[in-house]
Amino acid sequence: MTGSQAGPPHDPAGSARAKLRPEHYDYFAGGAGEETALRENEDAFGRLALLPRVLRGGGDRDTRVSVLGRDWPAPLFVSPTAFHRLAHSDGEPATARAAAAAGVPLVTGMAATTAVADVVAAAREADPGAVVWFQLYLQPEPEVTAELVLRAERAGCSALVVTVDSPVFGRRTRDLRNGFHDLPPGLAAENMRDLPGVPPGTTRDIAMWPAGWDDLARLRELTGLPLVLKGVLHPEDARVAVDRGVDALVVSNHGGRQLDAAPASVEALPAVAEAVAGRVPVLLDGGVRRGTDIALALALGATAVGVGRPVLWALATGGEDGVREALTALREDFEQVLALCGGTRPQDLTADQVVARGLPYPPYGPTAGQGVPRGLAYRPRRGERPW
Ligand SMILES: Cc1cc2nc3c(=O)[nH]c(=O)nc-3n(C[C@H](O)[C@H](O)[C@H](O)COP(=O)(O)O)c2cc1C
């Protein structure tokens, strides 16, 4: 096929850039510092290859995974991202309807430009059984956190995702350069409206502060909802979190927006999965763009993966339809990769199928036994995961 027949490469970020004000595009696209962690999230997937298995037979493919007592149609969810109305005037309700229609659970953010009750209602319009979780930053005033939790419970969210990688706000280089600090007039973080301590009708700022394990314990007492800790990269934190009763983890470097020296999410995953040892689901986000990325993360111990920016780009360019199509395409891509890897179920993907590019892989090459990706240490057995 010649270049002219091949057509332009698929570039969702580039298409979105053409639709958005430059400072809004930069807000969505950018990361902290020199954007090393941001780049690495995608590049790290590119450094890994998948070893397909052959002649495994098997029946119909089934991409379902079980997470916190619910069957998800695919090992895919929408990660929480702020300010969807900056991407498209239809905002979070459009994302929610699209995700529900595509069979993809949604984590709606505390920094959404639509209140959580309206986001859940939109998702349930498309699918009455839609899974919606609420992402929360613990706030210094316990009564503020308590009110946010109550709103998420009343709205019908089935888990709380507590983001723990933000004791301070990351230094987002592009936002500093552009002078982008706040939403334009007419838009607000609607979950922060009418909370304790502010005059009726007004919103509070979201506080970034160094919460501790005791604050998490207080949250545990406050709600019966499952708690999902987002932003865990150190295996010891993962171990402590599980010991303290956390119900799931998200391995994440916040899309490269917090600590710029943090490793790529997929590189942190194997050690966390090993520490957790199947006791709770391990989720991952950061740099997931295609079916092979999903398969790599699953093979290295993730139960499901989240996407952040791909949803924002699809929303900016195509609104609700765009998000539904992007998520559906990602699901289909994963299903095909699963088949090509010789699997019929997500659990069929195992760590021995992941090798580093650029080297003959062990145990067959001259470097046998050296440079073994940490992931190879974690070998989930079929049926090992109890959730
Ligand atoms: C514009 C933007 C806003 C975000 N806002 C939040 C947020 O409010 N809370 C949170 O926990 N994570 C937030 N994240 C991080 C995402 O949940 C997720 O970790 C990240 O986007 C995954 O990487 P990806 O964009 O490469 O898929 C945000 C990410 C972006 C790009």
Give residue 379 CA to ligand 1 midpoint distance, Å: 29
**Looking at residue 24, what is its pLDDT?**
98
Tell me, using a 6 A CB cutoff, whether residue 256 lines ligand 1: no
Is the per-residue pLDDT at 185 higher than 60?
yes
- List the structure tokens of 293: 């990325």
Reading the block at residue 382, the tokens are 């079929």
135 lines ligand 1 (CB under 6 A): yes
- Report the distance separating Cα 220 and Cα 246, nearest Å: 9
What is the secondary structure of 33-70 as a DSSP string?
TTSHHHHHHHHHHHTEEE--------SS----EEETTE
Residue range 242-252, pLDDT digits in tens = 999 999 999 99
Query: Is the pLDDT reported for residue 184 higher than 70?
Result: yes
Rounded distance between C-alpha atoms, residue 51 and residue 54, angstroms: 10
| Paired tokens of 217 | 């314990």
User: Cα(32) to centroid of ligand 1, in Å?
Assistant: 12
Phi then psi dihedrals of residue 107, to 5 deg: -100, 110
In angstroms, the Cα distances linking 354 to 61, 235, 304, 369 are 21, 20, 17, 14
pLDDT at 6: 60
C-alpha distances (whole Å) from 157 to each of 103, 108, 132, 226, 248 are: 16, 9, 5, 10, 15
- Residues 326-353 pLDDT 10s: 999 999 999 999 999 999 999 999 999 9
Q: How confident is the model at residue 8 (pLDDT cuts 50, 70, 90)?
A: low
Q: What average pLDDT does range 224-234 have in this prediction?
A: 98
Whether the predicted model's global pTM rises above the 0.85 cut: yes
- Cα radius of gyration (the chain): 20
Among 23, 81, 269, 294, residue to substitute to test ligand 1 (most atoms within 8 Å of Cβ) = 81
Residue-level pLDDT at 123: 99
- Extents of the domains making up the chain: 32-351
CB 163 within 8 A of CB 285: no
Does residue 285 line the site of ligand 1, with CB under 6 A? yes
CATH topology of domain 32-351: TIM Barrel (3.20.20)
Q: Is the pLDDT of residue 371 over 80?
A: no
- What are the Cα distances from residue 39, in Å, to 235, 249, 352? 23, 23, 26
Does residue 254 have an active-site annotation?
yes
- State which of 164, 254, 258, 309 you would mutate to test the pocket of ligand 1, scoring each by most atoms of that ligand within 8 A of its C-beta: 254
Q: Residue 286 C-alpha to ligand 1 middle, in angstroms?
A: 8
- Specify the DSSP class assigned to residue 287: S
Distance between first and last Cα of the chain: 47
Q: For position 382, what pLDDT does the model report?
A: 45
The predicted structure's pLDDT at residue 378 = 42
Confidence of residue 7 (pLDDT cuts 50, 70, 90): low
What six digits make up the tokens of 177? 């350069």
CA of 29 to the centre of ligand 1 (A): 10
* Percent with pLDDT over 70 in the chain: 91
Q: Is 255 in the pocket of ligand 1 (CB under 6 A)?
A: yes
pLDDT value at 237 more than 70: yes
Q: Which of 243, 304, 237, 235 is nearest to 274 (CA)?
A: 235
Ligand 1 centre distance from Cα of residue 383 (Å): 31
Alpha-carbon separation of residue 379 from 309, 353, 374 (angstroms): 30, 10, 11
Instruction: Say if ligand 1 is within 6 A of residue 191 CB.
Output: no
368 band by pLDDT with thresholds 50, 70 and 90: very low
383 burial level (CB within 10 Å; 0-12, 13-18, 19+): exposed
Please give the mean pLDDT across all residues of the chain.
93
Instruction: Verify whether ligand 1 is closer than 6 Å to residue 162 (CB atom).
Output: no
Mean pLDDT, residues 254-273 taken together:
98
pLDDT digits (tens, 9 = 90+) for 354-365: 999 988 877 544
Q: If phi over 0 gives left and psi between -120 and 50 gives alpha, with beta otherwise, what is residue 17?
A: alpha
Rounded (to 5) percent helix, strand, coil in the chain: 45, 15, 45
Is the Cβ atom of 77 under 6 angstroms away from ligand 1? no
